[in-house]
Amino acid sequence: MRPRDSRGPQRTLPFDCRQRETKSSSSGSGDCEEKCYHALSTLFWTTCRCFSSASSPQPCRKGITSPFDRRRNRFRERKHLAQRHTAGSGEVFEVHTYPEQLAVKPGESQFINCSTSCAQPEAGGLETILAKTLLKSGAQWKAYLVSNISQDTIIYCYFTCFGEQRLTSLNVSVFYPPTQVLLKLQPTWVAVGRPFTIKCHVPAVKPLESLTLMLLRGQEVLHNQTFWGTTDGTQGATATHNSTAHREDGLHNFSCQAILDLRSLGGKIIHSVSEPQMLKVYGGKN
């Protein structure tokens, strides 16, 4: 008895396949045996395959090729060409965005360029929930204006080359700069040797993990504090430093500098400084 085909339940064989299998079986040679099975599902044509039996080292003759096989072979040929179709490096084509990251204020608009190393892409573009306008395009690039950016999002750039689609993502981060930096000395009058407190507060900033507050006496840094964010929205930040009054403290301005470092998000470093304040120190020897 012939073993059951492990590829799945038997299907009704096309006439040519059944005829060839009968010939192979009746000959008794066992040299070649063709079996037909369903490639994916009943939606596709039956694919005829040829298998060598254990008693025959030579390969069987090629069986019937279905439309599904032909489509699959064409896809493989296109994929092979796509892998060869590069700028002389032998690598698969690439997709890029410029810039690679974006850090913007709420409501701003930005230019984004989407490009590929494929010399003749079939299709390409930008996918985003934001409003976009195609400004210019070439064979390997497209330039867009993305408008009214109000929230953190991801923008996708894609191209299709010889039937294969590739994409890359661009992270967009909306930031709120430290526009207000408030400094307070408590008390403003203090005796030599007595404690006083320097407090700096920024009401709303985002992202908080990119913020550093520096408390200064003249050019001297008295305290440096970096923060960690816990929400996606804006947050306030406060840095406090306790000190003991010295007579020379009355000779310098106190200030607070807020630094928002957005370089890891594709932005730059933003500086904001408070209004300077003087500490009145009394007592002690002249």
pLDDT in tens, 242-263: 999 999 988 899 999 999 999 9
pLDDT in tens, 166-202: 999 999 999 999 999 999 999 999 999 999 999 999 9
Quick one: average pLDDT of 30-41? 38
Provide the pLDDT for residue 285.
60
Using DSSP's 3-state secondary structure scheme, residue 65 falls into coil
Is 0.75 surpassed by the pTM of this model? Answer: no
- Dihedral sign (CA 39, 41, 42, 44): negative
Distance separating alpha carbons of residues 276 and 265, to the nearest angstrom? 31
Closest CA to 254 of 225, 223, 227: 223
- The CATH number of domain 182-282 is 2.60.40.10: yes
Using DSSP's 3-state secondary structure scheme, residue 136 falls into strand
Q: pLDDT class for 231, splitting at 50, 70, 90?
A: low
Quick one: average pLDDT of 223-250? 87
Distance separating alpha carbons of residues 275 and 141, to the nearest angstrom? 48
> Which residue is listed with tokens 């204006």?
145
Q: pLDDT class for 108, splitting at 50, 70, 90?
A: very high
Provide the pLDDT for residue 92.
79
Q: Give me Rg for the CA atoms of the chain.
A: 36
Pairing of strands 101-104, 164-174: parallel
Provide the pLDDT for residue 283.
82
Q: pLDDT class for 79, splitting at 50, 70, 90?
A: very low
Classify domain 95-174 by CATH architecture.
Sandwich (2.60)
Quick one: average pLDDT of 20-28? 38
Pairing of strands 182-186, 153-161: unpaired
The segment(s) of the chain belonging to CATH 2.60.40.10 are 95-174, 182-282
Quick one: average pLDDT of 27-44? 38
Burial of 15 (0-12, 13-18, 19+ CB in 10 A): exposed
Q: pLDDT class for 73, splitting at 50, 70, 90?
A: low
